[in-house]
Amino acid sequence: MSTPNLPAAPKPLPAEVFDSHCHLDIMVGNRQASSGDPVAQAAQAARTSVEGILDEARAVGVTRLVTIGYDLPSSRWNAETAALHGDVYAGVAIHPNEAHASTPETLAEIERLARLPHVRAVGETGLDYYRDWASKDDQHASFRAHIEIAKRTGKALVIHDREAHDDVLRVLAEEGAPEVVVFHSFSGDAGMAKQCLDAGYFMSFSGPVTYKNAAYLREAARVAPQELILVETDAPYLPPTPHRGKPNAPYLIPLTLRCLAEVKGTDITELATAISANGETVFGSW
């Protein structure tokens, strides 16, 4: 890690693990980052190839990743990239912030992509009450449509839930949840974690679990059983402590995983092994 503005590589993990949620297309600059997105700009300035990102990750024990779509072009790119790289899998969806774009035609294309062998998730979909880029009506309709696609294709449903916990849980219950549900970048407290545990939903923890002001996330991680935990970066966003403000990447997973192991009082090798097994339960065999 010789580039000065990038976080140094952490100590390698004693056992392999994977990144359940990142955005390779944003990291490599397939989509030009806007000036309002300095973190994505910095990531794009530093990294230009998927292979480079994979090599950095492998060097610390992060051997696979799932790259997640947020609109139709992004979903197409991620599906194609997964087909080209052995250790890369994809999710496809229209993000809740783009829910106005969930027309019958785009949803049909998302469903077609979701059936591809390297596409292992329908996501990220869900509800975002923090941003009002799309109306609540559009978000709900799009979320429900994605739940149906996940059920028809048998792929995991990857949920973006921002300040919408109750409605996300309610819509899942109303529609009937798909067999595998993942709350990406889990943002609930211990009570929400208990509800997910009861429903058998997976909780994917990201950089914020390491943040000083996020004790509620560590409480949630204590409640979440090892069989329902995943770890992710959401790269290039949400870097773990002490790298806030810098671009995130899959090679920083060890920092978040070590925090999780410490919080849960679990041996890091045991936790990494459990998460790797969960990965195949969620995303299918690698």
Query: At closest approach, how far in Å is the CB of 201 from Zn ion?
Result: 17
Token output for 222: 């204590």
Query: At closest approach, how far in Å is the CB of 186 from Zn ion?
Result: 12
Nearer to Zn ion, 102 or 248 (CB): 248
The 8-class DSSP code of residue 154 comes to T
Cα separation, 249 vs 23, whole angstroms:
9
Nearer to Zn ion, 44 or 264 (CB): 44
The CB-nearest residue to Zn ion is 234
Strand arrangement of the beta sheet that strand 229-231 belongs to: 17-22, 62-68, 88-92, 119-128, 156-162, 181-183, 202-205, 229-231
Other beta carbons within 10 Å of 176:
9
Which amino acid, residue 63? T
Nearer to Zn ion, 122 or 264 (CB): 122
Nearer to Zn ion, 25 or 111 (CB): 25
Query: At closest approach, how far in Å is the CB of 68 from Zn ion?
Result: 5
Cα separation, 214 vs 19, whole angstroms:
21
Binding site for Zn ion (CB under 5 A): 234
Query: At closest approach, how far in Å is the CB of 217 from Zn ion?
Result: 16
Nearer to Zn ion, 25 or 234 (CB): 234
Query: At closest approach, how far in Å is the CB of 161 from Zn ion?
Result: 12
Query: At closest approach, how far in Å is the CB of 206 from Zn ion?
Result: 9
Name the β-bridge partners of 161: 127
Give one DSSP letter per residue of 178-219, joined into a string: -S-EEETT----HHHHHHHHHHT-EEEE-GGGGSTT-HHHHH
Nearer to Zn ion, 208 or 264 (CB): 208
Picking from 124, 51, 62, 130, the residue whose alpha carbon sits closest to that of residue 93 is 124
